Amino acid sequence: MPELPEVETTRRGIESHLLGQRVEQVLIRERRLRWPIPEDLDTRLSGQRILAVERRAKYLLIRAETGCLIVHLGMSGSLRLVASEQPVGKHDHVDLLLEGGKRLRYTDPRRFGAWLWSEEPLAHVLLAGLGPEPLGDDFDGERLYRLSRGRRMAVKPFIMDNAVVVGVGNIYASEALFAAGIDPRRAAGSISRARYARLAEEIRRVLAQAIERGGTTLRDFVGGDGKPGYFQQELFVYGRAGGFCKQCGSTLREIRLGQRASVYCGRCQR
């Protein structure tokens, strides 16, 4: 699934092409996504000018004059700007036809994404209960320390909880925990305030670096400009089970936490 840096990379890739553009038509070829695309989406959005392209967690918010299009890329979705004459592929489910002649095309082989409409997007049921953005001012080690008290769950699924902080998915949780020297199996409530301060810093750093590099290349992800991300070459533990630790040379181990594969270094992470 595209993680926060991939979604932010997509947002940045499409923003300049959408801002100020008027939507001429919403062409829907397949409504059966994770939630059905609203029947009246074309009526609501056509003729409106796009005012902003924002992100909340892993959701893209395309704000128009009377409401907001909420887009989630699901497990395999992507958004690209294409020319009007670009042939339609099997999995190209939605086009936003823009007055400038281009189309914002949504492609999703698995159809786990979403295209929804809301007049109050931040109050929508999918967004209302989310925690703070990891790169925002509301997130720090003190929040992690406070919310973790008395928690026996492992620290990795704890920081992946969207009510604690949004957008820290499997890849970046693994990388941040390695950088902070914290064993992903450790009980969240057993970690000190000082170590959470370090972990929060590493979460910020790893995510910011991934965004700067254009996201992490996964099998299904490409950015809004059609180019894949290239942060993967810098990963220290994720996807490297059985390989050597770049820091100490030990063999990296793999376990499962919260039904997710977790790779860590038994020597560097405690």
Show the CA angle centred on residue 232, arms to residues 229 and 235, nearest 5°: 150
Where does residue 75 rank: exposed (0-12), middle (13-18), buried (19+ CB within 10 A)? middle
Do the domains 4-123 and 141-264 sit in the same CATH topology, yes or no? Answer: no
* Overall average pLDDT of the 195-199 stretch: 98
Question: Alpha helix (H) ranges present in 149-229?
Answer: 155-159, 170-180, 193-213
Question: Looking at 2, 5, 134, 157, which residue is catalytic?
Answer: 2
Indicate the annotated binding residues for DNA: 91, 110, 151
Tokens found for residue 73: 């890329």
Q: Domain limits of the chain?
A: 4-123, 141-264
Has 3 been annotated as catalytic? yes
Rounded CA separation 170/56 (Å): 18
Model pLDDT, residue 217: 46
Neighbours of 23 (CB within 10 A): 22
Has 246 been annotated as catalytic? no
Task: Give me the sign of the Cα torsion angle 98, 9, 116, 137.
Answer: negative
Rounded CA separation 238/105 (Å): 31
From the list 46, 140, 168, the residue with the least C-alpha distance to 95 is 46
241 DSSP assignment = T
* Overall average pLDDT of the 143-161 stretch: 97
Model-level pTM greater than 0.75? yes
The single-letter code of the amino acid at 220 is: D
pLDDT band for position 230 (50/70/90)?
Answer: very low
Rounded CA separation 28/214 (Å): 29
pLDDT tens, residue by residue, 92-129: 999 999 998 999 999 999 999 999 999 999 999 999 99
Query: What does CATH list as the number for 141-264?
Result: 1.10.8.50
* CA dist 129 → 141, 164, 252, 263, 265 (Å): 20, 10, 36, 29, 34
Tokens found for residue 3: 């993680």
Indicate the annotated binding residues: 91, 110, 151
The answer to whether residue 221 scores a pLDDT higher than 50 is no
Question: Looking at 58, 103, 156, 195, which residue is catalytic?
Answer: 58
CATH class of 4-123: alpha beta
Model pLDDT, residue 212: 86
The answer to whether residue 39 scores a pLDDT higher than 90 is yes
The answer to whether residue 219 scores a pLDDT higher than 90 is no
pLDDT tens, residue by residue, 248-266: 999 999 999 988 899 999 9
The widest CA-to-CA distance across the chain, in whole angstroms, is 59
Q: Are strands 260-264 and 114-118 parallel, antiparallel or unpaired?
A: unpaired
The answer to whether residue 59 scores a pLDDT higher than 90 is yes
The single-letter code of the amino acid at 14 is: I
Rounded CA separation 124/126 (Å): 5
Task: Give me the sign of the Cα torsion angle 147, 151, 155, 156.
Answer: negative
Task: Give me the sign of the Cα torsion angle 42, 45, 50, 54.
Answer: negative
